[in-house]
Amino acid sequence: METKYRVECQTHSVEDTTQLGKQLGAFLQERQEPLCVALIGDLGTGKTHMSQGIGLGFGIKEEMTSPTFALMNTYEAHGQALYHFDVYRLDDVCELENIGFYEYTEDQISIVEWANKFPHELPDETLWVTITRLGESERQIMMASDILSDDELAQIGGQYVVRN
Ligand SMILES: Nc1ncnc2c1ncn2[C@@H]1O[C@H](COP(=O)(O)OP(=O)(O)O)[C@@H](O)[C@H]1O
Ligand SMILES: [Mg+2]
């Protein structure tokens, strides 16, 4: 993904990835502007743990489960909604229309797991989060965006930033 801004983070445990997610979730709650968090990564890299961290930082009290079968779960915290998609099982762009994907990702705060299946359907207001397995418990987490500046990305990444 060619974007204006990017930052590289690394985590060394599930707890790190959850914490990084929390930092992002808190940022989204405070920012109060639409943003689509597009999560990309192979099976078992940590997309769902990252999502759960985002939910925690956003202020969501209930447990977040992967919406692989539901396709979308809706949460709310501090009067602000968060839409969590998993498009792994979707094959056709038409199906996105049916689940209200465009309204939610363009006008709300959302998380989309397996966003790389439909990269061209996401809005300009997207934060790309690409997780790569470096080892048993090491993950590279690249955050890239045209909307959030390098400074904002570095603020979210905090102690996990290795390069920007
Ligand atoms: N640094 C890490 N961050 C996230 N998950 C990790 C990490 N190290 C090991 N894991 C393991 O990787 C798996 C990630 O699972 P999950 O979040 O469900 O992935 P995905 O949603 O991408 O399929 C879990 O089994 C978790 O214990
Ligand atoms: Mg998952």
pLDDT digits (tens, 9 = 90+) for 76-130: 999 999 999 999 999 899 999 999 999 999 999 999 999 999 999 999 999 999 9
In a domain, 10, yes or no: no
Domain residues for the domain of 95 are 18-139
Residue 164 lies in a domain: no
At 20-60, the pLDDT tens digits run 999 999 999 999 999 999 999 999 999 999 999 999 999 99
Order of all β-strands in the sheet with 35-40 = 72-77, 80-86, 109-113, 35-40, 126-133, 139-145, 5-11, 161-163
Is 151 within a domain?
A: no
81 assigned to some structural domain: yes
User: Both tokens of residue 121?
Assistant: 């359907």
In a domain, 80, yes or no: yes
Q: What is the domain-level CATH number for residue 56?
A: 3.40.50.300
Closest ligand by atom to 69 CA = 2
Q: Which atom of ligand 1 is nearest to the CA of 139?
A: 1
Question: Which pTM does this prediction carry?
Answer: 0.96
Q: Tokens for 149?
A: 């500046």
Kindly state whether residue 79 falls inside one of the protein's structural domains: yes
Does 17 sit in the ligand 1 pocket, CB within 6 Å?
yes
| Overall domain count for the chain | 1
